[in-house]
């Protein structure tokens, strides 16, 4: 049965507010670390992470909107917004690969840069999981638990493929509109000739498995916490 804002229990709304508060504090830490580094070095080395964090917030914002408005929106509205969510979803776990930028730099302790990038990567991962949980619950209410986990698994595998497209081929979510021919050609080429692009499928499967195991662990920990309470 669909659930609207008015049918959310007080406990559910309270948990949502607590989540928003924790995510807000965690994001504030990342922003503070980036700002502190700029002030310390007078360089904008990691300022690009602010944009990456913003992109990671987009799918979370869309999933929150869908979760709260599911009781009022019709399927013809849910589907395009859900498609937009799936398009932007890889931007959240993508920040994990920004660890590639970590190496000693003069003027800043190595541990500071490690904490900075880990903070941003953590936020990207948590935003991804929180967003996926919202969408999985929508799918589960409409199609059942098995379909919900099937969708979550597929979404994480597709996001891993999106991570590859972004990190190695330098495509962005909006290239679907601004550069569709090149994007379609590169995807089709890898689908038709998988043996020629083993790195593509290595990244997709390995990162997808990692993200799925992490997501399942977070879900299990959450259920254990609810049972104890």
pLDDT digits (tens, 9 = 90+) for 142-196: 899 999 999 999 999 999 999 999 999 999 999 999 999 999 999 999 999 999 9
The model's pTM: 0.91
| Among 115, 215, 223, residue whose Cα is nearest residue 159 | 215
Residues 30-43: tens digit of each pLDDT: 999 999 999 999 99
For residue 58, what are the contacts with CB-CB under 8 A and spacing of at least 6?
Answer: 88, 91
Contact 135, 85 (CB under 8 A): yes
With 0-12 / 13-18 / 19 or more C-beta atoms within 10 angstroms meaning exposed / middle / buried, residue 95 is buried
pLDDT at position 4 over 70: no
């Amino acid at each position: 049965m669909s659930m609207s804002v008015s049918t959310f229990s007080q406990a559910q709304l309270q948990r949502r507010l607590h989540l928003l508060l924790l995510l807000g504090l965690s994001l504030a830490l990342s922003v503070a670390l980036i700002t502190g580094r700029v002030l310390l070095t007078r360089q904008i080395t990691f300022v690009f992470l602010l944009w990456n964090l913003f992109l990671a917030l987009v799918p979370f914002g869309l999933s929150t909107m869908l979760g709260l408005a599911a009781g009022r929106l019709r399927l013809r509205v849910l589907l395009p917004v859900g498609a937009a969510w799936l398009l932007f979803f890889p931007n959240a776990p993508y920040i994990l690969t920004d660890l590639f930028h970590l190496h000693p730099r003069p003027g800043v302790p190595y541990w500071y840069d490690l904490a900075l990038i880990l903070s941003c990567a953590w936020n990207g991962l948590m935003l991804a999981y929180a967003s996926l949980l919202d969408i999985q619950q929508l799918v589960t209410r409409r199609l059942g638990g098995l379909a919900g986990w099937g969708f979550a698994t597929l979404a994480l595998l597709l996001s891993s493929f999106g991570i590859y497209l972004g990190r190695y081929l330098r495509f962005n979510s909006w290239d679907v509109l601004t550069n569709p021919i090149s994007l379609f050609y590169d995807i089709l080429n890898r689908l038709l000739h998988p043996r020629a692009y083993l790195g593509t499928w290595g990244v997709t499967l390995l990162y997808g498995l990692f993200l799925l195991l992490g997501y399942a662990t977070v879900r299990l920990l959450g259920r254990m916490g609810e049972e104890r309470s």
